[in-house]
Structure 1
């Protein structure tokens, strides 16, 4: 992180920590500091109100510093004059539209907090804190799909504030030993509720941001999230100690108040560290949008489960291992009052024997569920699978790959016979079982034969990273073209359509600037149809598809009522991916961006052709591919 980014993370973390305390202190007063009424309670309310206003004031100052740091990052300059000049543009962003009302609520709490009822003060600070969810990673897009995550993030913030700020309130209350035992007991239900909300909302939003197991252990975001989870687990340990040992002991007089103070202080320190890590996470790229480095030589794979020779062994290994785990739990789980009574030794000993036998026969075959992995195995292509990248790969393939793999990729190049092992057949359907990251690793570092001798050279020094990704895009289109040609122009899996830049007519599609912008509409893509008759065009426009005509001349506008563009690379990409020769071609793309059919020949004009196109479009919409638009789009 640069110094500007570091200052951004620090000021953000400080502001959030103080905002959490500002909401949590009055929440403690409302939810925990209840009856009995009396001078002790009134005095505590007064103390909590003063600390609340102090926390709100400090959060306001830290928020202004965060706003200035964001302005500095916005322009890439931390000088005072640059920051002052960037404050206006920063205020006009979504970040500014959220932060400024939040700071106004904090200012209102500071100005009027001495006269407002404690519930109204808590309402101001709680609203300010909840609105912070609108500037996090979860709220990148404001739409209906993001609403559950946004609500979960708000609940996460409020629960964190009630827990951490509540502990700060409890620490202040411990200055009055006469109330300590009662307040510690009353705080426990609030702590349990907050912890439950924190865990549930973190799981809901964290899974999508981390990006699976690879993102968890292979990206900075995931690794920081693991550290945050570890600190949270330690906080849970402190909370459990308070709930089951310290608070009851305090009530019985067997534990001193100093033990509770120490435990709460440790929990607050851990909570502050968790908030700091959360601020760090908010300042870096989520793991789901990063390229994870896989640290192991193997990765999980379910391909073997459908294998006719080894699938049965894999299923047996899973069943035996599962049986062993169940038997182990039966034997070692401690009793749980009211729910679980520990079995007698007559049951536990046979259960341990069953567990040992199950593990002995099941665990060794679990390696069938793994395949070789590389550091880049979980990388995804950054190209967006465009026609331009496919065409670039097509230009590179003859000079770098064809001598071994052959001009058509079938592994029959002129140098193939001289290799110690045959080159891969790039037209075989099982090529799609290999991840883009695996293929990128082989292109980058080469591939050895069983004796360790290089059988495919490393292209890291010959091709740039972008060129290697372009080759991978072309290899995927080459593979698709071969299998689709065998299937007589029909795709049976979710192969995405290569991306194109387009122009669309005035109307509902006027803002569409690319093929991806037509998502939700089936598309009939025509390449090599420069002269489309008006009757043919009218016939196609009467179907559910959006006609898209790619011209060969750079200055040729699409016919009225159609989308189109002049994309020289489109012919290369689509003729390769459709397995067609030169000449006019038509490609049906479903509303999810997946390729469905390809034809060679003129633009359809007869009623029979239009009826067939309509029927095939309707069938494609009724039977979408399980993978949607395929696995190679990464916008």
Structure 2
């Protein structure tokens, strides 16, 4: 008995004695090595692990980044070495491949998964100099001051010249003043118009010289051999012709000058952000033409309102010096100007909103990019101008209508002068706005993929150049890092749908705030999570997870049409409404109003008819919510979906905190707005731009419909 006691005592001590803990069967080395570039594949792939493997439950398969799994003989554990997993490889063409492995350790019984990416191609390509794609622009970089000044002078000059012509055609009444006052107005207004034309000519000439110097050639060659140079030269010619028209004393000078000046403004629109192609198909071309037309309308409205203020001030100065004043005529003139200004404000607000929705993808870009900050300043000045205009319209104008008070005229002159000062600053911000590139969050480029994001105070841009012969090229650019730090950069790739082990790629610093490397991370079709990490001593880690879906067809090198047809029609309706506010004949006001109603009706049809036609053609759930269907859907949901979306469907699963975005909540009313066909598409093929992976290769169509039926039941039970 005593011997038995000591035996068990020693046994317990042995079991409790400290010793190295057994680890999982992790990969130690492999042939081919991870991210290796080989001229040809080895006959047998060898993967050595840290622990012996269970032969019946350990395997490795070969996959291609382009075509997916490749048929091979079954893998096997080396009979002479239980730590080694073997797979015979067939001859492989050039491309990116990976060895997807799954092991069960005989030591601790744990299952592990992972992959070994490698490339078949020219080994010399792996040692070739790393050539990164062109660096993206710094979103907070200021454009050259000379460029901004040239754009500002051009726009300011055209605004003064065309604003005076609009004032003459729509507002000015010679009977407002006596002969001496009318002559004084004519002298002041002509000087403003001619001075504006000369300013615009100076700005347009400077723009051509700056553009040709940047391109590296003389102005004449640049004007003859490039589209940009041709449009800039045409702008100079049109503004010169406008100046000649303004100098002449022909009675038709106002109408002819307005046509020539509008053509000069069109050259501004043709070289603006609105002229960026929206696609080569008919819809894209029509959208591009609409964007250019709205930009031209925006410029004309700017000229009519801001340039008209200078002409209005000239009228008020002439009225002050005139021998006699006709208060009623002045009041009518101010009322006519108010009508023109109201029309201009409606056009500016409508077309400006249309442009902002095209160029901005997030509200944060209003303060995180140069373009957005310039737009924010412009909106602030625009709001201030509206406030001053409202003061003139609702307080000063009624005061003038009651009698010829000198104090009222003085206040109006000062108010208009203040508006003109604000307008000059506003036009300077427009010059900065048009010289700055609009922000973009994700755009396909000819050389690869580009995704942009904001991570705290840092602006990150990830560029990927796909190359099947030497691995992909990854470039990471960061703007806004603390000064003086040189962080390390790494990319961690994972594919949540396949529960693969994370693959890490270390990036080398190529230039300040830019890192790059060549590697094979996207080794199979599907949705990948690429977590970028910037780490340095004394700085919090900068992290962001980019979602790359390699199963989607490559997108066009130009962005698709960014606005639906109904938005274009609604914009036209608002512009027609603005035209009905002009001081013109009543029959034309009625025609504009009727046309606006027609456009609203067409916009309603364009927004609703395609929706119902699409819904009528959509697939419907063929299953009924029987107990059997719900039980099957629940089992699939708990196995494949609950880890992210939670058992109750509220998007609070245990894996939700690790995802870049919140999983969908199936219990909120918004879920009911999605049709079964939409949910089916997202489950089968994944949801682009989110962490939702594709389950089409894991679930049959019937199983997907069972899950959808169960999701509808979850939603129904969650409602009060």
TM-score with structure 1 setting the length: 0.50
Task: Indicate the structure with greater helix content.
Answer: 1
Kindly indicate which of the two structures has a greater share of residues assigned to strand: 2
Asked which structure has the greater CA Rg, the reply is 2
Q: TM-score, normalization: structure 2?
A: 0.45
Q: Which has the higher contact order (CA 8 A, sep 6+)?
A: 2
